[in-house]
Amino acid sequence: MFQIHGHELDGGTPTHTANWTAGYAKGTTVITLSNTTGLAVGSILILDQLKDGSDTGNFYVRNTISSCSDEGGSTGGRTNRPQEQWTRVTAINTGTGQVTISPGLYAPNWRSGQTPQAVWGNDTIQNSGIEDLSMNHGSSDAQTGSTWFNYYQVWYKSVRDINSDRNTFGSIRERERKSGIPTSSAPRTLRLRVYGVETVMTSDNLIENNIFQHIVAPIMLDGASSGSVYGYNFAINDFYDTSPGQMMGEIWVHDAGVDNVLFEGNVGPGMFSDIITGRTTWIQPSETTS
């Protein structure tokens, strides 16, 4: 097992927080923050806002139990703030608090009424990758084969992962996660939660050309995700120990805050969008075969 973390943003209290006071329109690349302390060109910003209170018939983001979720939101992100976008700082005007970001805003529903904020840490892992690795977790008690969090422009390529319970990726940026993880898992007693690639709090991923065998949920969007592409992945024999008569789906859109995501050219036993941990919005399946 390996873990790569920029620890300040790892599910806890962020190092820096600012109110986001202006610049909400879709496509906007300049936003205004109440402070820019500790912010630098190249920093990664997490933009988030409070969940919606009711469905207005438009873009609706909510993960409240009973109304939009069976179990409440996932553990990724800040409490009651399921909508997120990760973006990168390209310029700062400290006098006005204006911050230029790339890419611009994806969603059309950012607004002051939802108390939008920006958070950031001091450390971001950048321009790193792992290639040509084989891992077998058959004798390991670790929950995850690999965990990545708070990084920018990274890759994970030509890696075989056997008998891990899940592989978690958070905050991958700028479409650098690419070119295949041949991932497999042999039968194992009480494998109740086996995720091949699980994204939690993330934007702009490219997840493609992966092979999954005997995985409960090969591709799991278990938290906010925006601007990502999941393409040309193959899954076979998605077996679930607790329900052996059921073939599980290859792709699971599992939480609130998933928007502007493309699924293309994937081959496997189906795609599911559920409300177990939140209500999903704005995904585009294209040429996906079951």
Catalogue all structural domains in the chain, each as residue range(s) with its CATH number.
11-120 (2.40.30), 124-286 (no CATH)
Specify the length of the chain in residues. 290
What are residue 267's phi and psi, to 5 degrees? -125, 120
Per-residue CA distances from 159 to 132, 186, 276 (Å): 5, 16, 30
* DSSP-derived secondary structure letter, 112: G
Identify which of 169, 155, 159 has the alpha carbon closest to the alpha carbon of residue 137: 159
Instruction: Specify the pLDDT at position 62.
Output: 66
Question: Letter for the amino acid at 59?
Answer: F
Instruction: Specify the pLDDT at position 75.
Output: 57
Identify which of 69, 159, 84 has the alpha carbon closest to the alpha carbon of residue 119: 84
Here the tokens at position 29 are 């690349």
Alpha-carbon distance of 148 to 12, in angstroms, equals 15
Beta sheet of 225-226, edge-to-edge order: 202-203, 225-226, 258-259
Residue 204, pLDDT above cutoff 60? yes
**C-alpha dihedral (257, 225, 12, 18), degrees to nearest 10:** -70
User: Which pairing describes strands 16-22 and 30-33: parallel, antiparallel, or unpaired?
Assistant: antiparallel
Here the tokens at position 197 are 């690639």
pLDDT, mean of residues 200-212: 86
Does residue 71 contact residue 56 with C-beta atoms inside 8 Å?
Answer: no
Alpha-carbon distance of 212 to 233, in angstroms, equals 8
pLDDT, mean of residues 45-51: 92
Q: Could you report the per-residue pLDDT of 252-290, keeping only the tens digit for each?
A: 887 777 888 899 999 998 888 765 544 556 565 555 444
Tokens 């679930």 belong to residue: 240
Alpha-carbon distance of 83 to 86, in angstroms, equals 10
Does residue 147 contact residue 11 with C-beta atoms inside 8 Å?
Answer: no
Instruction: Specify the pLDDT at position 40.
Output: 93
3-state DSSP of 136-160: ECCCCCCCEEEEEECEEEEEEEEEE
Identify which of 44, 41, 123 has the alpha carbon closest to the alpha carbon of residue 90: 41
Instruction: Specify the pLDDT at position 140.
Output: 72
Instruction: Specify the pLDDT at position 24.
Output: 98
**C-alpha dihedral (240, 4, 221, 67), degrees to nearest 10:** 100
Instruction: Specify the pLDDT at position 278.
Output: 46
Alpha-carbon distance of 50 to 79, in angstroms, equals 9
Q: Could you report the per-residue pLDDT of 152-197, keeping only the tens digit for each?
A: 888 888 888 777 766 666 554 433 333 334 344 433 333 345 788 8
